[in-house]
Structure 1
Amino acid sequence: MKAKVSVLVGEGVVTVKREGSNRALQANILGTVEADGVEVLCLDRLVHASHEQQFGEWTLSGAVTTLLSRPLAVPEAVLPQ
């Protein structure tokens, strides 16, 4: 069974907390990219293990630092009626 992981995005930082652990990992956000309907946060360190691919809505990648990506929310005004 997978442990639940929460990702909190703050002002210039991301905090990752795993359920059942009293430890939290914190990483600085080096940059943010928005393209093709996807938001990508580039972190300054690795906050995921090699076998982990998803933290909730966030998709994980990176071997030296973590890249968090998720679809951008579509504004309601753009949604077809």
Structure 2
Amino acid sequence: MHRALDRLRAGVEDLHIAHGASDASDWISISISIGAALCQPTLQMTPESLIEAADRQLYVAKAGGRNRVCVTEVALDH
């Protein structure tokens, strides 16, 4: 999965869409960060738990410098 998500991230970067709100330079382009969580479903798990885990990974990606993919496999018991 990480490889597929990284291809998606690179594909957006390769579009070279100009960042219209930036005054810094014409070469600054749009990029994305992706956070994902994988798990083996259980009866006790809630969809919100998986979304929260993915959201945490998105913040890890952004904190790591943006324009990156962070994926984790989690054991959710609630």
- Give the TM-score normalised by the residue count of structure 1: 0.26
Higher helix residue share: 2
Higher strand residue share: 1
- Give the TM-score normalised by the residue count of structure 2: 0.27
**Over alpha carbons, which structure has the higher Rg?**
2
Higher RCO structure (Cα 8 Å, ≥6 apart): 2
